[in-house]
Amino acid sequence: MGGTTPKRAVVAALFASTLLVLAQANNHQIEHDPQGYIFHDHCVQHPYMSNGMDIPNWDFSGSTVVTDDYIRLTPDRQSRRGALWNKIPYNPPIESKYPWFDVTLAFNIHGQGKKLFGDGLAFWYTQNRMQQGPVFGNQDMFVGLGIFFDTYSNVQQGHQQYISVMVGDGKTHYDHENDGGNAKIAGCAMQFRGREDDPPVYARIVYQDTLLRVYVDSDGEGFEECFVLRRVYLKRGWYFGVTAATGDLADNHDILSIKVGEAVEMTDKEKADIDERIARDKAHPENIANKGDPQYVQEPEGGSMFGIIAVVIVVLGVAGVGGFLYFGGQKKKAKFDF
């Protein structure tokens, strides 16, 4: 008989529908890797310990434990600190005064706590490394960039998860009791703590032309903007790292991967959006937080001629006084050196 039986037609239709669903699911898959060239010396990914002894190009300390599936900075226990630091200073082959980077951090924070948990983890790009301290396991008064994934808000009695940023100058204190206090430049409220079997949270940190952008994918639906900061000045030769800490409250803080790549040029749409927002800030400066913060002051590129002349006069004056004292001392010495 020629023709297709109803049964075969139904099977064929189901097969075609299945292929369509799989194709759509594949198209919906979110890309989390950096878009530019990957700098493998600054990356951490599975398998973590290729030689069974250590993580290539990385140091870990404190309560950090490396497993086959994750790097646990702290267990779900009180008063723990853990750290993971790149050994190699970041100095990319990019023709730019500032070291462009596009970092994707994959992590999972979870534990037994139902309502209150802490304290959180931090991503770092700083001048120093492996300096244990009170700021999510790292030193206070640091120099460089710190991005904090805080699971316990001291101000809100713990009932808020917040991502914030600070650019340290080596003198400014991180006010932990006030969730960063005035040192905190920008941030966003976002739920990034989950369960052990949840998919990882991805944070994308892009630094390009003194512009810092942070995006987060906390539910597998794609990146959402957390904040954009301009006039952020970071130097070459600093170090990437992640740390975490627990206090009276605790959580597991797990790192799944860190991928560091070259930041690519923004699209025309992204540039237009940034330009529009900068123009809006300039039109309404009263809306800019921390107006006295260095992030909102132009980086000094050199002094004026008056300043240079003043410095020269001071130097000559000091040299003259020093010469007078020196030769006077020599004469006194010769006077009594029989």
Q: Rounded to whole angstroms, how far apart are CA atoms 184 and 165?
A: 6
174 has pLDDT over 90: yes
36 has pLDDT over 90: no
Q: Rounded to whole angstroms, how far apart are CA atoms 23 and 280?
A: 42
Q: Rounded to whole angstroms, how far apart are CA atoms 332 and 338?
A: 12
With cut-offs at 50, 70 and 90, classify the pLDDT of residue 261: very high
Mean pLDDT of 31-53: 84
Q: Rounded to whole angstroms, how far apart are CA atoms 66 and 82?
A: 11
Helix residue ranges, H only, the chain: 6-27, 268-283, 305-336
Q: Is the pTM higher than 0.85?
A: no
pLDDT at 285: 62
Q: Are 61 and 132 in contact (CB under 8 A)?
A: yes
Calculated CA dihedral for residues 46, 49, 54, 57, nearest 10 degrees:
-50
pLDDT of 59-88, one tens digit each?
Answer: 999 999 999 999 999 999 999 999 999 999
pLDDT of 269-304, one tens digit each?
Answer: 888 888 887 777 677 665 555 444 444 444 444 443
